[in-house]
Amino acid sequence: MANLRGQKPPATPKFRPEPDELVRTFQMRLRGAHPSLDDAADRYQRAKRAVYAKASRTGRSFDALKSETCAAFDLPARMFNAIRLDLRGMVKSIQEKARYDTAQTEDRIDRGRDGHCWPPPAQIRTRPIKASGSYLG
């Protein structure tokens, strides 16, 4: 909404807790309290594992497995779409981690065994000091 001059009003800042304010998050498990939720979560996990296993075995894309997975696990299409996005994210995450690990390993190989350490300071070669009349020398 613009004012008379055509300028937009300043945006309201997002909520930020005060520094001394404690922010808490909670996680609850509802197992047993709602059997229909338990059933949906169980079907989701079983379908997710089945889709990944079949895609890995056959080389088919996740999208190509939609109709048979929905029929086999009695899933709505929206739930399959959530499974597909979840699996794509997991696969992409694993691929990125593998690229990162490969780059780290190649970097370590290039540096050699102690490439991450600075060379020791130069040592000044001296002879022991002999104090006359001392039991040290």
Q: Where are the domains of the chain?
A: 35-104
Q: What's the token pair of residue 69?
A: 């997975």
First to last CA, the chain: 92
pLDDT digits (tens, 9 = 90+) for 94-128: 999 999 999 888 877 776 655 556 666 666 666 66
Cα pseudo-dihedral 63, 67, 71, 76, rounded to 10: 70
pLDDT digits (tens, 9 = 90+) for 67-98: 999 999 988 999 999 999 999 999 999 999 99
Please, are residues 51 and 87 in contact by the beta-carbon 8 Å criterion?
Answer: yes
Please, are residues 86 and 48 in contact by the beta-carbon 8 Å criterion?
Answer: yes
Model pTM score? 0.54
pLDDT digits (tens, 9 = 90+) for 14-34: 666 666 666 666 666 666 677
